[in-house]
Amino acid sequence: GDSVTQMEGPVTLSEEAFLTINCTYTATGYPSLFWYVQYPGEGLQLLLKATKADDKGSNKGFEATYRKETTSFHLEKGSVQVSDSAVYFCALSDVLFGNEKLTFGTGTRLTIIP
């Protein structure tokens, strides 16, 4: 079945550092890929998405590129801020099997220190 593997957290960085959160996936169809963010005490919000190979999703300074050859969708940001502290979830939806749900990774907790 489909699965998503994220780098283990927690991740702690200093403000203005470069961020990478790794995400790889296994899917039998043609998945769309998503990054969701969960701020403390809140529900999940879509951060960015990519629907086909080589697409780049971007939002709020975050970027991720859909790499079919490496089955990856790593999240990057060039200069993080304290306000980026949150839990980040990589997820996929598999179009081929008509799978009407998102499959999530386990989440990566990010803490940014001033």
Partner 1 sequence: EAQVTQNPRYLITVTGKKLTVTCSQNMNHEYMSWYRQDPGLGLRQIYYSMNVEVTDKGDVPEGYKVSRKEKRNFPLILESPSPNQTSLYFCASSPTGPILQETQYFGPGTRLLVL
Q: Does 60 bind partner 1 (CB under 8 A)?
A: no
Q: Where are the beta strands (DSSP E) in 1-114?
A: 3-6, 11-14, 19-21, 23-26, 31-38, 44-50, 56-59, 62-65, 75-77, 86-94, 103-104, 108-113
Q: Does 58 bind partner 1 (CB under 8 A)?
A: no
Q: Does 107 bind partner 1 (CB under 8 A)?
A: yes
Contacts of 54 (CB under 8 A, 6+ apart): 65, 66, 67, 68
Q: Does 99 bind partner 1 (CB under 8 A)?
A: yes
Of 18-26, 61-69, 72-80, 93-101, the window that binds partner 1 (rule: CB under 8 A) is 93-101
Name the residues that contact partner 1, by CB under 8 A. Answer: 4, 32, 41-46, 49, 51, 89, 91, 93, 95, 98-102, 104-107
